[in-house]
Chains A and B, each alone.
Chain A
Amino acid sequence: MREAVEALAGRLALDLHNPCPGSHTLIRVGEIEAAEAVDALGMYLVGMIAGVVAVDLSVTERYLGIGSEFRAELRAEVERVIGASNAITNGFRDTRRNPWIAECLGHLLLMIAGDETGLFVPGRVWAATVPHDKVSKQGLDLVAVYDDEGLPALCIGESKASHTHAASHLNSAVRLFREVDLRQRDYEIRVTMINSLDAHIPADVRDRVPAMFWRDRRLYMPVIGFSAGSAFDPTTDRPATFGRLLVTLDRRRCVAVSLNDFYGFFNRVADAMRAAVACYAADAAE
């Protein structure tokens, strides 16, 4: 996984673009359709699933006293989220597979850039949730806690992938951020923080920060994958959309992933993932 992250960090073209002073900060991700990037992405995504599967297997074994074979579970899990092949229904493709890959992309980008560039979040990422096991599951795609000049801050990510309706999807993501603003997601974040992420914030920081620090310091990161041929232009000023959010401009970081071959890209990532399963299974066997 580390190799994959490094490969992607070296290959992706990340561009902070701020043409939209009335609405948001834009980060454009280029070169992601390159073959090396796709392979690395497949490796990373399966690695992430493998980590989850390993944890889940250990939990299941302790819970139920039954063990499962890692390789089989990994393969089943990968196939569950992206399908056994690319011969899938359009519905599965558009509402399950592609959005899941996009969701993981957000996670990956945070891993790539969080420490180093301050591009996606301004400081070091202390901890982040893993993507949902099921893309349509209610809940925030990505919750990460990072170092904001010595204080904890929260990055909330929401990834979308749509060939022709990217604008609608961006609206949908912003609507979710709006729910965070309006505290309708408080319980989810609170429960996640108390039971998981809190422990990753350095103790001396945690003890001097009021509870629910994210009400003071948070950042929204919509990740939008879209077809380059579509009418969607991420540089368009969108004050009606982003202006409703209760964070400042530099905390509305929209990540745009423009894809020349929208469906082809996701198919290739899915293929790369299926190929990567064998590597992880072999590693696990060793």
Chain B
Amino acid sequence: VFSTATRTYFDRLPELPGLDAATARRILSSAYADVLAARDGFSREAGPAAPEVISFLRRLTAALEAHAVFPDDVGAEERRGAAFIAAESLSLTQKRDENGDAAGADEAPPPDEEDDSADATYRLLQPPVFEAVEAALLYVVSGLETNARLLLSDIPAAAGEVDTAEAVAGEDALVALTAFIDLGLAPAAAAQAFVVPAGAPLASTIRGTALSRIAGAARAHLRWLRGGDEAEWEAANAQLRESVAILVDAGARRYADVLHLSRLLLRAIEETTLRAIRRLPAPANDRYAEYLAARSLSRPLIWPSGVDYARQCLPGPQRHAAVALPTGSGKSFIAELAVSQAVLNGWALYLVPTNALAVQVRRDLSQALSSLAETTVRAFVGGTEYTELAGETIADVELGAVIVMTPEKCALALRRSPEAFQTLRLCVFDECHLISEGGGRGVIAELVAAHILAASPDVRFLLLSAMVENPEAATSWLEAATGVEALAVKTPWRPTRTLRGVLGFERNALRAAYEGAPGAFANLPANRRNLRIEIPYAALINLQGAWTDLADIEYALLQLDFAGELTLRRNHTGATWNYDVYDDGYLNVTLADVASVLADRGERVLAFVPRNRHHAFSVAANVSGEDVELSASADGRLVSAYLRLAEFEMGAPTVLNDLIRRGVSVHSSALLDAERSASELAFQRGLARVMVATGTLAQGLNLPATVVLVGGTEIGFSATPEPDAAARGRAQLLNAIGRSGRPGVANHGLALVIPNNAISFETQNLNIPEAFQRAEVLAYEDASVPLVSRLGSLVTSALEGSLVGGAMSTDEMVAYTYLPEADVQDALAQRILQRSYGVWQARPDSVQDAAAAVVHALQGVGQEFVAGADAPRWTTEVAYRSGLALPDVFMLYGAAAVHLGEAPPDDIEQWLVLLITVLQSMPLQRAQALVFGDLSLKGLSFSALNDDTVPPPDAWAAFQETVLMYMRGETIASIASFATQTEPPIDQARTVGSKPIPKTLSLIQQVAYRLSLAAGGLAALWVEQSGYSTPIVVFTSRSSCSFIAGRRREGRPHAPPVSARCASRRECGYPHPRRPGSDTAMRPP
């Protein structure tokens, strides 16, 4: 259940009799399992007995409050930890009796005894309410106010008017405390003034006064957190402190309860004061003050995970930082604070790994910074191909702007508008572990970062990642590269806890089925071999967190009250029948089955299908959801609108329509953008209670669930997996597991791995080693990968003199392409390299010399490579512009050379024809690699393009026509019909990749990206070789088209072309379908 961060809380527990940290963790986890079991109808076997759990946790609460929360001589971290554990202990045992059962109802009092329950005139006097508030305040003291809110939701509404001044004050205190704990995000009733009634008993006056001071302090603090008056806040705090002192001095045992609440509130005020965003270091700036005032209304506190960054790097930011925090633990808010200050005297760049994330960041940041005057957030999410579109340039970036883009897009911007980076003040690099990715992306990301360091004298970096295990390395690099201090934040803090387990079957039932097999088959025909049997599910759960210890004591078994199906099979040897149980096809069926039941019981389930993106659809189809009336809510209507857009683009009903309307969404790469938007929104807003997702969910999207089911531990499928595939696969699974738990909705999440092959458990034999072997991923806390430079081998080879032009790897080739000769001449290449992570890692003490040596070596082998390529040297410039690998550019040049002197084609279709013609004249394998990658064309009318032999011309023609149909905006169904030679109506199923729709979507995704790059390369060749006198329009993808207008230039080097933007059909003659949700960002004014 517990992350490393929360484990440290246990390690810091004070030494108290009977209190052992490991036992405390284990028992708290058991209590959580019991709560979960009660919630979902399971029962817990093994692990500590319920009475032991209850007894221990109650003691824990008392001990920690007395010895670590209230005393003044306890350190802040220790107090937070103690408060956290006390809050967990208290909230998990609330309303439960000695045996862990729900507390029973009261019996009737004797006839001449007044029913004292009728005397509880305000809710705070009721034990469940008091304890809920107490636990909530403890959560606030621990820094987990998001967890606190959930406890308040169970407090019953006031029964009606109260009849005494004390009761009025009691109700008012509850309302004020609730508003404070909820951070005033929910409406709170107005304050009730406490008036001492004439003739009231002293005790009632005292309690009323104490309660009114609680209410006053809670309200004043909330107002203060939200920007309110400092003097009023100080006065109310002073009153509360005085109240505590008075009650303590008086030793008034009758007021222990109000004293208790007062002391807890004081602690909660202290804690939240430290984290109030109004108290964070801030620049003296009116715009910022205005933003802060507005922001403190919606987000008055920073989470503990962000405090170090704020205190040490702000204002400014004045330092670099590398922040490693789990998903959903506050990275975005840290970035927002940094951006909000950086844009006051410059602009900010926000690098993200995908366009989808760029759209989300733009949307979220725009909203968050809406009160920051003169600030605009723009996302550049077009393709990564070479383009001169005005809307895709940052040349005129204004101060105060926030630009969100991928590193590849930024590489283009750095090439085209280096001067704009002079005023860059902050570079947020989200998911910065991208630097370690192979296939060229990591190298580009790293060089972009180094390039920014070289081009932006005042920039500060904020590296963010949920996976990086060595942020210290990144900060050392940044310090060395800039001479500016850098802070590493590595806090595995997260606001939720996750119970991790392996789902299997109950072994006793399995054994019984096996033993009863002869009887079960007895009346069946002799040729009947298989029988489906129902076996109840069981889950093995760990009671500490990550599965690091395999001792029985650390585990418990959850018996689920529903069953799955396996196959009982018989075979005979001679006259003897042999029986066995098989798990044929059990994985996806089990995933759908368990997801259905848990969703039906109110859980928000993320069912993760890591192996195959098409399985997401087959699993989703088997989830039995409930009908959702989309027209009943604004969110539903928006989902409905997305689905209509998807149908418009699809030209047929989308399978998502049926799924979402019964509460099931899908997240897969085999989706249209509109379908993905509909799916995400439906799940985020609870319209869909199940989301079946593939690895596309891995990158940063905010879609938390209460239960995560991982259907198998095999990631993707590749005949030639990359060397670090295992670590990346693990990271993907851990990312999914980390999504369980929703702050404020479910403080505790459940993550169950369903192994690829079925496993069984019994109480007497927990089968831990086997379960561990099937789901080793559970041994890891959080995804952790070292931040490693992909330039490393290049640097080493270059320094050792072993770099060989003909044998350059993809990463090395990309590096060479990124650092063109022109950059070498004006020393930019060296300035970039000496600031790169890779060079620093290789030669931290002599980066300048090392960078010079690498540049020299790189240029040597590069030139050698170019010289051997039978291509002019300026083609390296084309590679630089287009982002294509140098061999591809050489090949493209070789094929296009005969056309470069000709007049450019008249229209966009002719450009495509030319591009196809050029591709056709390339060596087949190179053309295949350039356009199709490892995409299988099986089942498509141009499948011959996948063959080893020269394809017939009509294959290229069919491919060309398919692309033209896409460019013309024809529906996916029409394109699928043509490309797969299938008569309409087209089968809409996406459960298998070979079906027309998924096949066509794969083709489009792959080709649109790759053909765009090739098209950009062709355009760049044209620009470099011959200049141009008429507009060049090269269609690249459906949502954008490159449009270059200019005049023929005289000689080289050329003047930059005049750029225009292709804004409408009038310019290029082609429709521009709008992409829902991202269109505004894509087309800045």
Q: How far is the CB of A97 from chain B (nearest CB, A)?
A: 12
What is the bound-complex CA distance between A133 and B200, given in angstroms? 12
Contacts of A137 in B (CB 8 A): 116, 119
- Pairwise interchain contact A138-B117, C-beta atoms closer than 8 A: yes
Q: How far is the CB of A128 from chain B (nearest CB, A)?
A: 9
Mask, A78-90, CB within 8 Å of B = 1, is 0010000000000
CB proximity to A under 8 Å, residues B438-472: none
Q: How far is the CB of B26 from chain A (nearest CB, A)?
A: 17
- Pairwise interchain contact A138-B54, C-beta atoms closer than 8 A: no
- Pairwise interchain contact A184-B111, C-beta atoms closer than 8 A: no
CB proximity to A under 8 Å, residues B1-47: 16-19
CB proximity to B under 8 Å, residues A175-191: 175, 181-188, 190-191
Secondary structure of the A contact surface, majority rule = helix
Contacts of B58 in A (CB 8 A): 183, 186, 190, 212, 215
Contacts of B97 in A (CB 8 A): 182-184
Say which residue of B18, B98, B247, B263 sits within 8 Å of A182 (CB atoms).
B98
Secondary structure of the B contact surface, majority rule = helix
Contacts of B256 in A (CB 8 A): 191-192, 194-196
Say which residue of B98, B110, B243 sits within 8 Å of A172 (CB atoms).
B110
Contacts of A194 in B (CB 8 A): 62, 65-66, 70, 256, 260
What is the bound-complex CA distance between A194 and B119, given in angstroms? 25
Say which residue of A55, A168, A246 sits within 8 Å of B111 (CB atoms).
A168
Contacts of A165 in B (CB 8 A): 110-113
- Pairwise interchain contact A56-B54, C-beta atoms closer than 8 A: no
Asked if A77 is an interface residue, CB under 8 A from chain B, the answer is: yes
Asked if B572 is an interface residue, CB under 8 A from chain A, the answer is: no
Question: Total A-B residue pairs with C-beta atoms closer than 8 Å?
Answer: 166
CB proximity to B under 8 Å, residues A19-68: 52-53, 55-60, 62-64, 68
List 13 other contacts, CB 8 Å, given A56-B203, A186-B58: A53-B202, A64-B196, A77-B202, A94-B112, A132-B254, A133-B254, A138-B125, A172-B110, A195-B248, A195-B260, A210-B19, A211-B18, A212-B59
What is the bound-complex CA distance between A99 and B104, given in angstroms? 26
Residue of B nearest to A93 (CB): B112
Can you list 12 A-B pairs with a CB-CB distance of less than 8 A? A56-B202, A60-B202, A62-B246, A95-B113, A130-B253, A133-B254, A164-B112, A168-B113, A169-B110, A194-B65, A195-B248, A211-B60
Size class of the contact patch on chain B: 35 or more
Contacts of A169 in B (CB 8 A): 110, 113
Q: How far is the CB of A149 from chain B (nearest CB, A)?
A: 17
Q: How far is the CB of B17 from chain A (nearest CB, A)?
A: 5
Residue of A nearest to B90 (CB): A187
Asked if B305 is an interface residue, CB under 8 A from chain A, the answer is: no
What is the bound-complex CA distance between A246 and B112, given in angstroms? 27
Residue of A nearest to B101 (CB): A182
Contacts of B248 in A (CB 8 A): 195
Q: How far is the CB of B555 from chain A (nearest CB, A)?
A: 26
What is the bound-complex CA distance between A207 and B54, given in angstroms? 22
- Pairwise interchain contact B98-A175, C-beta atoms closer than 8 A: no
Given that A137-B119, A210-B16, A210-B19 are known contacts, is A59 also in contact with B252, CB under 8 Å in the complex? yes
Say which residue of A58, A77, A136, A187 sits within 8 Å of B130 (CB atoms).
A187
Say which residue of A73, A160, A197, A215 sits within 8 Å of B113 (CB atoms).
A160
Asked if B107 is an interface residue, CB under 8 A from chain A, the answer is: yes
Contacts of B698 in A (CB 8 A): none
- Pairwise interchain contact A196-B251, C-beta atoms closer than 8 A: yes
Q: How far is the CB of A203 from chain B (nearest CB, A)?
A: 13
- Pairwise interchain contact A195-B209, C-beta atoms closer than 8 A: no
Asked if B120 is an interface residue, CB under 8 A from chain A, the answer is: yes
Asked if B842 is an interface residue, CB under 8 A from chain A, the answer is: no
CB proximity to A under 8 Å, residues B227-268: 242-243, 246-248, 250-254, 256-257, 259-260, 263
Contacts of B119 in A (CB 8 A): 134, 136-138
- Pairwise interchain contact B259-A134, C-beta atoms closer than 8 A: no
What is the bound-complex CA distance between A95 and B116, given in angstroms? 10
CB proximity to A under 8 Å, residues B200-230: 201-206, 209-210
Q: How far is the CB of B394 from chain A (nearest CB, A)?
A: 60
- Pairwise interchain contact B17-A193, C-beta atoms closer than 8 A: no
Residue of A nearest to B260 (CB): A191
CB proximity to B under 8 Å, residues A183-233: 183-188, 190-198, 207-212, 215
Contacts of B125 in A (CB 8 A): 138
Asked if B989 is an interface residue, CB under 8 A from chain A, the answer is: no
What is the bound-complex CA distance between A138 and B63, given in angstroms? 25
- Pairwise interchain contact B66-A210, C-beta atoms closer than 8 A: no
What is the bound-complex CA distance between A59 and B67, given in angstroms? 26
- Pairwise interchain contact B252-A183, C-beta atoms closer than 8 A: no
Given that A132-B254, A215-B58 are known contacts, is A60 also in contact with B205, CB under 8 Å in the complex? yes
What is the bound-complex CA distance between A95 and B110, given in angstroms? 11
Contacts of A215 in B (CB 8 A): 55, 58-59
Mask, A130-166, CB within 8 Å of B = 1, is 1011101110000000000000000000001011110
- Pairwise interchain contact A209-B17, C-beta atoms closer than 8 A: yes
Given that A195-B259, A215-B55, A215-B58 are known contacts, is A95 also in contact with B114, CB under 8 Å in the complex? yes
What is the bound-complex CA distance between A194 and B204, given in angstroms? 22
Asked if A235 is an interface residue, CB under 8 A from chain B, the answer is: no
Asked if B1084 is an interface residue, CB under 8 A from chain A, the answer is: no
Q: How far is the CB of A56 from chain B (nearest CB, A)?
A: 4
Contacts of A77 in B (CB 8 A): 201-202
What is the bound-complex CA distance between A76 and B59, given in angstroms? 41
Say which residue of A73, A129, A175 sits within 8 Å of B253 (CB atoms).
A129
Residue of B nearest to A56 (CB): B202
Asked if A18 is an interface residue, CB under 8 A from chain B, the answer is: no
Residue of A nearest to B253 (CB): A196
Contacts of A95 in B (CB 8 A): 112-114
- Pairwise interchain contact A172-B113, C-beta atoms closer than 8 A: yes
Contacts of A68 in B (CB 8 A): 202
Q: How far is the CB of A34 from chain B (nearest CB, A)?
A: 26
CB proximity to A under 8 Å, residues B89-114: 93, 96-98, 103-104, 107, 109-114
What is the bound-complex CA distance between A215 and B18, given in angstroms? 13
What is the bound-complex CA distance between A62 and B55, given in angstroms? 40
Asked if A241 is an interface residue, CB under 8 A from chain B, the answer is: no
Contacts of B104 in A (CB 8 A): 182
Asked if B131 is an interface residue, CB under 8 A from chain A, the answer is: yes
- Pairwise interchain contact A136-B62, C-beta atoms closer than 8 A: no
Contacts of B257 in A (CB 8 A): 188, 191
- Pairwise interchain contact A184-B62, C-beta atoms closer than 8 A: no
Contacts of B127 in A (CB 8 A): 184-185, 187-188
- Pairwise interchain contact B201-A133, C-beta atoms closer than 8 A: yes
Q: How far is the CB of B83 from chain A (nearest CB, A)?
A: 14
Given that A80-B201, A187-B134, A211-B62 are known contacts, is A55 also in contact with B250, CB under 8 Å in the complex? yes
- Pairwise interchain contact B110-A168, C-beta atoms closer than 8 A: yes
- Pairwise interchain contact A198-B66, C-beta atoms closer than 8 A: yes
Considering residues B98, B109, B203, B247, which has the most beta carbons from chain A within 10 angstroms of its beta carbon? Answer: B203
Residue of B nearest to A57 (CB): B202
Q: How far is the CB of B181 from chain A (nearest CB, A)?
A: 18
- Pairwise interchain contact A58-B112, C-beta atoms closer than 8 A: no
- Pairwise interchain contact A59-B254, C-beta atoms closer than 8 A: no
Asked if B327 is an interface residue, CB under 8 A from chain A, the answer is: no
Q: How far is the CB of A200 from chain B (nearest CB, A)?
A: 9
